[in-house]
Chain A
Amino acid sequence: MSDPLFSKKNLKLLSDPLNDSNPITVQVLGICSALAVTAQLKPSLVMAVSVMAVMGFANVIISLLRNTIPNRIRIIVQLVIIASLVILVDQVLKAYVYDVSKQLSVFVGLIITNCIIMGRLEAFALGNRPWPSFLDGIGNAAGYGVILIIVGFARELFGSGSVFGFQIIPDSWYIANGGFYENNGMMILPPMALITVGIIIWVQRSRNRKLIED
């Protein structure tokens, strides 16, 4: 068990979820939060970072406890740990970076229910040592975050004409100002998030033949 910290095997834990086993586009987990928070880019980014923090810590804690957890209540133990971490993060944000905590508001609860986190605890952290578990958590959160950011970018750009709240489409283009352009109101509604995720899956599969089932 004397793997170097960044052995090939460990690095694969980080990179795999970005493509071959992406939690959203391949495993189709965490879809609900991906639809809810991606109307704008900023909450998408904040959500991605928060999930990464919670997932990294939860994986390490569960991995440390893995030899003591009674098998029959392991799901409850996992939930308690995720929920406590999320509450702790929320409390600290509220005290020290109040404006970020306002940004997160309802999404904090969505982190607890994110199936990716429990999925990784159950599938990986319960059977692996802390360091690989940590990498696995960070990798999967990154895979989740990348999709969130792509979707958030597309939805904010086409739905509101802005990125990170800054207007990108020139004002003079809009029909209201005598131009030819109109924001697509459909983009800011949840169904378009699903369609955007679908398009990403389509592109990904056409480039990565491994993912195509017979």
Chain B
Amino acid sequence: MDRNSNTYTFIYAAAMVILVAAILASAAMALRPRQDKNVEIEKMQNILASVNIESTFETAGNIYADKIRNQYVINSKGEIVEGEDAFEIDLKREKAKPVEKRLLPVYECQTESGLKYIFPMRGAGLWGPVWGFISLNDDMNTIYGANFDHQGETPGLGAEISTNWFQEEFKGKQIFDQSGTLISITVTKPGQEAQKEHSVDGISGGTITSKGLEQMLLEDFKSYEEFLMKKKS
């Protein structure tokens, strides 16, 4: 057949597209269960990391079952919503709703230094979403640990939010000021130490990611504010 005829070209293109689609679709379907499992384990690892518990890919499931004693869903008024599984809540969907309608997951973890509350968060970085888990001491003010992750921030710049040195900075910081107002944590340029207990050093070359993270912390702590107040008093 003439390789330059229209018929040949059309048939070739159609056959190629169908073949490629079939290969890709079956690969995606065959690998999906493994991929979902990986994402789930990673989430457990991240939750554990926010209370400063190291886990490997293999051990995460067991440690999680052992340490995370209680998980539940609340609304913005701080009341427990029955019949929801905290682990299954999709933060991306929840953040799209107005704050009064959001389902907010809370995890409780028993550690040697007392009960810790873990709050998941999600916001926008430079190239895509950033998210994380923050744990508070039972005074509902002092940060016990933090873990952040991102979809596609630039390595060496914005992606530094998921490194240890950055996350370590959050430990011991306070989210309420002395008059009891929720001010969250600001990410500032190194050297500006106006409010040391409420700020961490930002990332050189990662300003937009840092600001996005700051925004996320403020917004999401706000949605938990009623719950924090209730537990505090």
A residues contacting B by CB (< 8 A) are 36-37, 39-40, 42-43, 68-73, 76-77, 80-81, 84, 87-88, 91-92, 94-96, 98-99, 105-106, 155-156, 159-160, 185, 188-189
CB-based contact B34/A68 at 8 Å = no
Given known contacts A71-B4, A88-B27, is B12 in contact with A39 (CB within 8 Å)?
no
| Chain B: interface residue total (CB-CB under 8 A) | 28
Interface pairs A-B: 3 shortest CB-CB = A39-B156, A106-B152, A95-B31
Binds A, one of B16-24, B67-75, B210-218: B16-24
Contact between chains at B16 and A70 (CB < 8 Å)? no
B31 touches A94 (CB 8 A): yes
The reply to whether A95 and B38 form a contact with Cβ atoms under 8 Å apart is yes
**A88-B24, A159-B156 in contact; A72/B9 too (CB < 8 A)?**
yes
Question: Would A185 and B204 count as touching, CB distance under 8 A?
Answer: yes
- Nearest CB of chain A from residue B116's CB, rounded to whole Å: 26
25 pairs from A and B in contact (CB 8 Å cutoff): A36-B154, A37-B155, A43-B155, A68-B3, A68-B12, A70-B8, A70-B12, A70-B13, A72-B9, A77-B12, A84-B20, A88-B24, A91-B28, A91-B31, A92-B31, A95-B31, A95-B34, A98-B38, A105-B152, A106-B152, A159-B156, A160-B156, A188-B157, A188-B204, A189-B205
Asked if B42 is at the interface (CB within 8 A of a chain A CB), the reply is yes
Please indicate the chain B residues that have their CB under 8 angstroms from the CB of A94 in the complex.
31, 35, 38
Chain B residues near A39 (CB-CB < 8 A):
154-157
Per-residue CB contact flags for chain B residues 36-72 toward chain A (1 = under 8 Å, else 0) read 0010001000000000000001000000000000000
Binding site for A on B (CB under 8 A): 3-4, 8-9, 12-13, 16-17, 20, 23-24, 27-28, 31, 34-35, 38, 42, 57, 127, 151-152, 154-157, 204-205
Residues of A within 8 A of B8 (CB): 70
Question: Smallest Cβ distance from A126 to chain B, in angstroms?
Answer: 13
A residues within 8 A CB of B24? 84, 87-88
Known: A88-B27, A91-B27, A98-B42. A76 touches B13 (CB 8 A): yes
Q: Is the interface of A mostly helix, strand, loop or mixed?
A: helix
**What's the Cα separation between A159 and B3 when bound, in Å?**
54
Contact between B4 and A70, CB atoms less than 8 A apart? yes
The one of A72, A95, A185 that contacts B35, using a Cβ cutoff of 8 Å: A95
* Residues B205 and A185 in contact, CB atoms below 8 Å apart: yes
Complex Cα spacing A96 to B17, Å = 27
Which residues of B have CB within 8 Å of A105?
151-152
Complex: chain B residue closest to A72, CB-CB: B9
Q: B10: shortest Cβ distance to chain A, in Å?
A: 9
Q: Which B residues touch A76, using CB under 8 A?
A: 13
Chain A residues whose C-beta falls within 8 Å of the C-beta of B12 in the assembled complex: 68-70, 73, 77
Q: Which residues does chain B contribute within 8 Å of A73, judged by CB atoms?
A: 9, 12-13
* Separation of A70 and B4 alpha carbons in the complex (Å): 6
Taken together as a complex, chains A and B put the C-alpha atoms of A99 and B57 apart, in Å, by 10
Instruction: Give the chain B neighbours of A95 by CB distance below 8 A.
Output: 31, 34-35, 38
Question: A92 CA to B31 CA in the complex, in Å?
Answer: 7
A150 to chain B, nearest CB (A): 16
- The reply to whether B23 and A40 form a contact with Cβ atoms under 8 Å apart is no
Task: Quote the shortest CB–CB distance from A66 to chain B (angstroms).
Answer: 11
Beta-carbon nearest neighbor of B13 in chain A: A73
Q: Which residues of A contact B151 (CB under 8 A)?
A: 105
Report how far A197 CA is from B18 CA in the complex, Å: 42
A70 to B152, CA, bound (A): 37
Residue on A nearest B28 in the bound complex, by CB? A91
Name B23's contact: one of A88, A106, A156, A185 (CB within 8 Å). Answer: A88
| Contact residues in B for A160 (Cβ distance below 8 Å) | 156
Closest B residue to A46 by CB, please name it.
B155
Contacts of A106 in B (CB 8 A): 127, 152
Complex-state Cα separation, A98 to B41, whole angstroms:
10
Q: Specify which chain A residues have a CB less than 8 angstroms from the CB of B205 in the assembled complex.
A: 185, 188-189
